[in-house]
Amino acid sequence: MTDTILEPAIENPPVAFTQDHIGWTAWLQPLAEEDLNDRHYEALVDKARAKSPYFALLARDPDILQARTKTDNDIFYNTKDGLPRAERELSATAASRLNGCILCASVHSRFASQHSKRSEGVQKLLDEGVSADLGERWNAIVAASVALSATPPVFGTVHVVRLRKAGLADEEISDLIHSASFFNWANRLMLSLGEPTPAAAA
């Protein structure tokens, strides 16, 4: 396996949380596009992900990647009912901000801004951290996401009560729990496999 380990030669890696596009490089060799077979593409679900070094690396275990991708898609794109997409993305952003995953925070903060039209509030979360005052509904969502992402998790009745007082229905709270919990796990996976890079190196 030593020939698959990449040299960590990233110059000026991103160190600040941002809504800008940034890149990511793996510490292990992702699969090359020409080496992907039908099973890999089935696991990727979206063929465009073959160009992502992160997903091309995860494609080394297509069964796990397929389960991961379908779970991700269902949590964030199945928004006919429950929590609005913007607040699912806010929850993922809060988890990523707490965990220090600059790449995940950049992706999900852009989606949170796009769907909420509250770019300044999202940027405040990135700049000031998870204690930023974003208004009670968003504060409750961020607090719950942080509690779910803590080690060990400290999410409990007090967070559910606060979310209900902020106007969230039970099915919306369920969506928030899934969003934050999934990205708490996804952050840790990404942070253990590589590092963010400037956009030009993406």
The answer to whether the bond into 84 is cis (omega within 30° of 0) is no
- pLDDT by residue (tens digit) across 122-175? 999 999 999 999 999 999 999 999 999 999 999 999 999 999 999 999 999 999
Name the phi and psi angles at 23, rounded to 5.
-105, -175
User: At 15, is the pLDDT very low, low, confident or very high (cuts 50, 70, 90)?
Assistant: confident
Q: Which of 132, 134, 135, 157 lies closest to 147 in space, CA to CA?
A: 157
Residues 173-190 have pLDDT tens digits of 999 999 999 999 999 999
**What's the pLDDT at 72?**
95
Q: Tokens representing 69?
A: 């991708």
Phi, psi of 104 (to 5 degrees): -60, -40
